[in-house]
Amino acid sequence: RKAAAGGGGRNGRRNSGLLRTSTATLVDPPGQASRAPTKASSAAAERAAAADAAAWRRSKSGGGGGATYAEVDRGILKQAFGKHDTDDNDALDHAELLQCFSELGLRPKTQAERREVREIVWSYDRLYFNFEDFAKHVVPEVREKLTELRRLGLLNIFKETDAHRRGYLTVEEVLNMLRRTGNFLGDGVCDEALRSYLLLVGQEDRIHHGRRIQMDLEGFISFVRILQEYHDRDNVDTFERIVRQFGLTAEDEELWKHDLVDFHKMFYEYDPFTGKYGSSSGVMDESGLITVLRESGYMPKTRAKQAALSQLILKVMRPDGTFTFMEFLQIMLTLREYDRERLRRIIETRLQSFGRQGMSAAVRMHELGELLTECGVMPRNVDERQEIRALMEDADYEDAGVLTRDEVVIVCQRINAKVRGMQHERERQYVLS
């Protein structure tokens, strides 16, 4: 809105400088922003998109296939740009641009990050961005700024993980660290991110070393940045694939936007060592379903709710006595609502003590920590405390400084799910050690 009104822009571009990591050598240095985007030749645009997509497919299928990091990255950017160019004018407006950042794994997650990303977008003093400006200027600058803002936290994590002060970490150590902090990465995502990182640093021939590859602090920061982008992109892709596969409506998407991917993994993944008891076949019997529900953390505690759950299970059970993912979602919807009812009662009681009541009663951000404690959210260590703080900041995505009662309920459930996963992972790593 600020940009559309003519405010927020700056005369001239600031000097971005080089990235602290080696990504700086692989993108064109930011310079003067180009003129307002115009429609390119359709044939030329199609050829460019085809070449970029081909490079991206080669990288995903066979260790790079001769593609450079810049080619691979450009293919990813091209695909995301085309997806969000909904009016097909070869340009993104501000709203489409911010959605595209989320698609790319570049969504700002704290108030400081959101402010800086807005400043970068406003600094161009324009309403639309063509692909070249997007790929050569905007995305590199956003990546640089997010890396800068997250650098101190990554530095502390590196030092903590490098307990023997060797000055390097292996890929396996990095992945274990990320899992301990609630970032549960699939093997496919890890392998793609590692391949991309090796392309970035020009060491793709080391791919056969796998997770024994060592990296210093700067390599660690680069690798984590790539890994987080791939992980976030994979979550977006998985969400959309589930929506298509099960024919979910726009209303369903809004209803499950925070939980769909996690519940899908819960139902389909089987790995008792990490607390996963799903069924890869996509069908499970009543005994398997009860086990998954217990591990979900949503099982009701009262006898009345447990009896109601038993009736619901019998109601949605298929004639052959089994359950698919859609029946599982019906049950989880009810269990999630049971938990939300409990949390709403706690929050409403607390808000009344503040002299506020009703569904629209606002919770100020400085009150959120106290409310979460009332709801049973109590971190056990530094990692949990940091993740809880991050989710609290992420919840106020409009930077309004307040949350509604229902927004507090949702963030409480998200925190509980994250902490439960972190505790499972700590137990797993303890057993392995």
Burial of 288 (0-12, 13-18, 19+ CB in 10 A): middle
Residue 196 CA, chain-centre distance (Å), reads 18
User: In the predicted model, what is the mean pLDDT of residues 10-27?
Assistant: 35
Q: What does each C-alpha distance from 391 to 7, 160, 218, 316, 397 come to in angstroms?
A: 31, 22, 26, 34, 10
Rounded to whole angstroms, the Cα distance separating 178 from 247 reads 33
Helices 217-246 and 94-103: crossing angle in degrees, nearest 10, is 100
Residue count of the chain? 433
> Contact, 75 vs 206, CB < 8 A?
no
pLDDT tens, residue by residue, 134-186: 999 999 999 999 999 999 999 999 999 998 899 999 999 999 888 888 787 88
pLDDT tens, residue by residue, 188-204: 999 999 999 999 998 88
Q: Given this model, what pLDDT does residue 372 score?
A: 86
Is the pLDDT confidence value at 48 over 70? Answer: no
**Torsion 185-191-196-200 (CA) sign:** positive
Q: What's the token pair of residue 291?
A: 């086990």
H-helix or E-strand spanning residue 92:
strand 92-93
Is the pLDDT confidence value at 356 over 70? Answer: no
Q: Given this model, what pLDDT does residue 57 score?
A: 45
Is the pLDDT confidence value at 212 over 80? Answer: yes
pTM across the whole model: 0.77
Is the pLDDT confidence value at 21 over 60? Answer: no
Q: Which one is predicted more confidently, 90 or 357?
A: 90
pLDDT band at 19 (very low <50, low <70, confident <90, very high): very low
CA atoms within 13 A on the CB side of 433: 8
Is the pLDDT confidence value at 345 over 60? Answer: yes
Q: Given this model, what pLDDT does residue 363 score?
A: 84
Q: Given this model, what pLDDT does residue 431 score?
A: 80
Which of 23, 35, 72 lies closest to 223, judged by CA? 23
- Looking only at the bridges linking them, the beta strands covering 270-271 and 169-170 are unpaired
Which of 363, 368, 373, 362 lies closest to 391, judged by CA? 368
Rounded to whole angstroms, the Cα distance separating 335 from 132 reads 48
Q: Given this model, what pLDDT does residue 30 score?
A: 37
User: In the predicted model, what is the mean pLDDT of residues 228-242?
Assistant: 93
Determine what percent of the chain is predicted with pLDDT higher than 70: 82
Which of 178, 144, 147, 332 lies closest to 256, judged by CA? 332
pLDDT tens, residue by residue, 67-89: 788 998 999 999 999 999 988 88
Is the pLDDT confidence value at 11 over 50? Answer: no
pLDDT band at 359 (very low <50, low <70, confident <90, very high): low
User: In the predicted model, what is the mean pLDDT of residues 294-312?
Assistant: 92
User: In the predicted model, what is the mean pLDDT of residues 90-105?
Assistant: 91
